[in-house]
Amino acid sequence: MLLEVEKSLETKFPSLSALVMRLEGAEVRLEDPELEAFKEEVTERIRGRWALEQLREHPVFRAYRDFFWRVGVDPTKTRPASEALIRRVLRGRSLPRINTFVDAYNLASMEAAVPLAAFDMAWLSGDLLMREAITGEEFLGIGMEKPVVLEGGEVVVEDGEKLVAIYPYRDAEVAKITVDTEDILMLVCGVP
């Protein structure tokens, strides 16, 4: 599976980059005691490495925030996923427990300070296309009760039939990773 960036988006953001990885034969479980112990290690490392007041101006988070502003997303209300997870830890809240794969890639996202996305390939219809949303398109993100109507211009990822992500902060309910997932497409979300 490939990820193509639509020409108009590429023209607007020539250095926009994302890495796609395919993982086959994954064994996703609800939980794992070793992973829970590792979560504690990572959480302590994050608390020792970061302070809330420094996140906003750190060059990596600054790049994501600047990108958000450029595509019409207010990063003070909708944070890059990696920053949101780190803020959660720094505020003393526990990390969400979803399943072993999602929990592990959330840890990786925090450690690298880069948002990650993952999709169950069984629910993808074809290669991915990153493009600007069309006014009025609907997107149902993981955990949402009803879809949001997009204003147009948001950076989205589609599979030829449906939207699977608002880039780089929200994955779609339809292709989320569950304990039934075997083949996974991961997206490492870079910004200019």
Total count of domains within the chain: 1
Q: Tokens representing 173?
A: 């309910």
Q: Report the C-alpha gap between 38 and 107 in whole angstroms.
A: 9
Q: What does the pLDDT read at residue 56?
A: 87
Write the CA distances from 71 to 4, 33, 144, 166, integer angstroms.
18, 40, 22, 11
92: left (phi over 0), alpha (psi -120 to 50) or beta: left
What's 160's domain CATH number? Answer: 3.50.40.10
What is the domain extent for residue 87? 3-189
Query: Would you call 84 exposed, middle or buried from its count of C-beta atoms within 10 A (0-12, 13-18, 19+)?
Result: middle
C-alpha of 20 from chain center: 12
Q: What does the pLDDT read at residue 174?
A: 98
C-alpha of 164 from chain center: 11
Annotate 46-101 with DSSP letters as a single string. Answer: HHHH--HHHHTTSHHHHHHHHHHHHTT--TTTS--HHHHHHHHHHTTPPPP---HH
**Mean pLDDT, consecutive 10-residue segments, the chain of 192 residues?**
92 94 98 97 97 93 95 91 96 96 98 97 97 97 97 95 96 98 97 94
The pTM (predicted TM-score) of the whole model is: 0.93
Helix (H) or strand (E) holding 106: helix 100-112
Within 13 Å of residue 98, how many CA atoms lie on the same side as its CB?
Answer: 17
Q: What does the pLDDT read at residue 191?
A: 95
